[in-house]
Amino acid sequence: MTTRRLFHILVRNWPLRLGAIALAVVLYLGLVISQNARTWNGPVPIDGIDQPAGTFLLTSLGTVSSIQYIAPLDVAAQVTSSSFVATANLAGVASQPGGAPVSVPVTVVARDQRIQVVGWEPATVVARLDPVISAQVPVQVDRGTVPSGLTAGIPAVSPTTVTVRGASSLVSQVTAAEARVAIDPNGANVDTNVDLIAVDAKGDVVSPVDISPSSAHVTIPVSEQQVNRTIPIVPNVTGQLADGYSVRAVTVTPLTATVSGPGSAVNSLTSVGTASISVAGRSSDLLASVGLQAPAGVTVLGPSKVQVRVRVQVETGSRSFGAGVVLNGASPDRTYTLSVPDVLVTVGGPSAALDAIDPSTLYVTVNVSGLDSGTFTLPARFTPPAGTTLVSVSPEQVQVTVTAPAGSPSPSPSSSPGF
Domain-terminating residue out of 127, 162, 182: 127
Q: In b/e form, how buried is each residue of 174-208, taking b as 16+ CB within 10 angstroms?
A: bbbbbbebebeeebeebeeebebbbbeeeeeebee
Residue 417 domain flag: no
Q: In the prediction, which pLDDT does 264 show? A: 83
Query: Which DSSP helix (H) or strand (E) runs through 315?
Result: none
Residue 287 domain flag: yes
* 231 and 218 assigned to the same domain: no
Residue 355 domain flag: yes
The total number of structural domains that make up the chain: 5
* 120 and 60 assigned to the same domain: yes
Query: Which DSSP helix (H) or strand (E) runs through 22?
Result: helix 14-36
Q: In the prediction, which pLDDT does 75 show? A: 93
Residue 419 domain flag: no
Residue 418 domain flag: no
* 29 and 48 assigned to the same domain: no
Domain-terminating residue out of 96, 127, 158: 127
Residue 412 domain flag: no
Query: Rg of the chain's alpha carbons, rounded to an integer?
Result: 60
Q: In the prediction, which pLDDT does 12 show? A: 60
> Residue 75 and residue 96: Cα distance in Å, rounded?
45
Structure confidence at residue 24 as a pLDDT band (50, 70, 90)? low
What angle (nearest 5°) sits at the alpha carbon of residue 58, between those of residues 57 and 63? 75
* 295 and 348 assigned to the same domain: no
* 258 and 207 assigned to the same domain: no
* 323 and 334 assigned to the same domain: yes
Q: In the prediction, which pLDDT does 372 show? A: 87
CATH number at residue 350: 2.170.120.30
Structure confidence at residue 5 as a pLDDT band (50, 70, 90)? low
pLDDT for 9 beyond 60: no
* 310 and 327 assigned to the same domain: no
pLDDT for 23 beyond 90: no
Residue-averaged pLDDT of the chain: 88
50: left (phi over 0), alpha (psi -120 to 50) or beta: left
3-class SS of residue 33: helix
The string of pLDDT tens digits covering residues 27-57 is 444 544 444 689 999 899 999 999 999 999 9
Whether 195 contacts 215, CB under 8 Å? yes
Pairing of strands 44-49, 84-89: parallel
pLDDT for 419 beyond 80: no
Q: Which domain holds residue 55?
A: 37-127
Q: In the prediction, which pLDDT does 199 show? A: 97
Q: In the prediction, which pLDDT does 32 show? A: 47
Domain-terminating residue out of 197, 224, 251: 224
The string of pLDDT tens digits covering residues 154-204 is 999 999 999 999 999 999 999 999 999 999 988 889 999 999 999 999 999
The string of pLDDT tens digits covering residues 102-138 is 999 999 999 999 999 999 999 999 999 999 999 999 9
Residue 218 domain flag: yes
> Residue 58 and residue 122: Cα distance in Å, rounded?
20
pLDDT for 219 beyond 90: yes
pLDDT for 10 beyond 60: no
pLDDT for 223 beyond 60: yes
Q: What percent of the chain has pLDDT over 70?
A: 88
Residue 108 domain flag: yes
The string of pLDDT tens digits covering residues 360-396 is 999 999 999 989 899 999 999 999 999 899 999 999 9
More confident position, 160 or 4: 160
Whether 140 contacts 156, CB under 8 Å? no
The string of pLDDT tens digits covering residues 65-104 is 999 999 999 999 999 999 999 999 999 899 989 889 999 9
pLDDT for 259 beyond 90: yes
CATH number at residue 305: 2.170.120.40
pLDDT for 315 beyond 90: no
Mean pLDDT score, 243-258? 92
Mean pLDDT score, 198-222? 95
pLDDT for 408 beyond 90: no
* 88 and 47 assigned to the same domain: yes
Q: In the prediction, which pLDDT does 8 show? A: 54
